[in-house]
Amino acid sequence: MTRRRFDPFRPFRLARALVVHSFSEYAAYRMEMVFWVVGGTLPLFMMFLWIELAGQRATGSFSAADFAAYFLLVFLVRHMTPFVPVPELERAIRHGELSAQLLRPLDPYWPMTAAQLMDIAHRLPITIPVVIVGMIWSGAWQIIAFEDWPLFLLALLGAILLHYNLLYCAGLAAFWMERVRGFEGLMWNGYFVLGGGLAPIALFPDVVQQIVVWSPFRYMMSFPIEIAIGRVAPADTWFGFALLTFWLAFSIGLMRLLWHRGLRRYAAYGS
C-alpha cells in the first residue's frame, strides 16, 4: 500500500480552498449579512443604558466613556460570535447529511471552521466602522490601551476559538440527543450574562466574580475586552492566558472524545 509523502503546504492549500468555497456560499446571500448585523445590536442598547446610569451616579469604577468603550467592544466581539456549529451539526447528524462529509478524507471540523471564519469576515466591514465611529463620537477611544492591542488580538482569537469549540461540542451531543438547540440556549445565557454581555464582570458581586474568573465564559468575551480597555494587571494577564489555554485544551480534548464516541453511534439516517 502506498503512503503519501508529508506535504507541509497541504494545510494552507486546504485552508485557502475551504475559505474560497465558503465565500462563494456566503456571497450567494448578501442581504442575510445585513440582517445579522442589525440583529446583533443589543450591546449598543446596553451601552446607552449604562452610559445613562453612569451619568446620574457613580457605577463602580466605570465612567460613561468606560461603558462606551466596553460595550462597543462587546458589540465587536458579539459579531465574532460563532453561530454555525450547533444548528449545522444538529441538522447534519439528525438528517444524515454528515455522511457526505465523512466520505471525504478531511475532518468536517475544518470546512465548518472555514464557513465560520467567512461569516465573521463578512460582518467586519459593517461592525468595524460602527465601532470606530462610536469610539470617536463617545470619546471612548481615549480609554483604549493601544499598547496592549497585540495581547487583545491574541485573547480575541482565543475567545473565538474557545467559544467555537464549545459550541462544536454542544453540536456533537446530537449523536446522543439528536436535538441539541437547548444546549445552545444554555450556553448563550452563560456566554452573554457571565461573559460580561449585560454588564462588565467588574460590577458583579465579589463571590460571582471569583467564580466567573475560573469559568470559560469570561474567556469567551470579557477577557479580551478587559485587556483592550486596560483593566487587567500584567500578572493577571498571564493568569488569564493560562486559563484560556487550559479551557482551549479542554475543549479540543472534549471535542475529539465526543467525535470518536459519537461516530460509533452515528446512524446516517435519511442518507
Partner 1 sequence: MIETTGLSKRYTVYRKEAGFVGSLRAFFHREHYDVEAVSDLTIRIGAGEIVGFLGPNGAGKTTTLKMLSGLLHPSSGSVRVAGHTPKERDREFLRSIALVMGQKMQLHWDIPATDSFLVLKTIYDIPDADYRARLDELVAMLDLGDLVNRPIRRLSLGERMKCELAAALLHRPRILFLDEPTIGLDVTAQAAIRNFIIDYNRRYGATVLITSHYMADVTALARRVLVIDLGRLVFDGDLQALIERHSPDKILRVQFAEEVAPDRLARFGTLRQIEGLVAEIAVPRAIVARQAADILASLPVADIAIEEPAVEDVIRTVFRTTGAVGKPA
Residue type at position 43: P
Q: Return the residue matching grid coordinates 459519537.
A: 262
Check if the beta carbon of residue 202 is closer than 8 Å to that of residue 62: yes
Minimum CB separation of residue 41 from partner 1 in Å reads 27
Least distance CB 151 / partner 1 (angstroms) = 34
- 10 is written with which cell numbers? 497541504
Query: At closest approach, how far in Å is the CB of 17 from partner 1?
Result: 4
Provide, rounded to whole angstroms, the least separation between the CB of residue 31 and partner 1.
14
Q: Which is nearer to partner 1, 57 or 260 (CB)?
A: 260
Of the pair 22, 81, the CB lying nearest partner 1 is at: 22
**Nearer residue to partner 1 within complex by CB, 13 or 181:** 13
The C-alpha atoms of residue 97 and residue 114 are separated, in whole angstroms, by 18
Q: How far is the CB of 172 from partner 1 (least distance, A)?
A: 16
Give min distance, CB of 88 to partner 1, in A: 13
- The cell numbers describing 129, all together, are 466602522
**Comparison of 249 and 268: residue with beta carbon closer to partner 1:** 268
Contact set with partner 1 (CB under 8 A): 1-4, 7, 10, 13-14, 16-18, 20-21, 24-25, 28-29, 96-97, 99-100, 102-106, 111, 263-264, 266-268, 270-271
Comparison of 4 and 57: residue with beta carbon closer to partner 1: 4
Nearer to partner 1, 24 or 245 (CB): 24
Return the number of the residue (106 or 242) whose C-beta is nearest partner 1: 106
| Strand, helix or coil for residue 62 | strand
Q: List beta partners, residue 62.
A: 59
Q: Alpha helix (H) ranges present in the chain?
A: 10-27, 30-39, 42-56, 64-78, 85-94, 98-102, 109-138, 149-172, 174-177, 181-189, 206-212, 216-220, 222-228, 234-265
As measured in angstroms, the least distance from the Cβ of 179 to partner 1 is 14
CB 134 within 8 A of CB 68: yes
The residue behind cell 472524545 is: 257
Cell digits for 182? 437547548
* Cα–Cα distance, 52 to 238 (Å, whole number): 34
> What cell was used for 94?
439528525
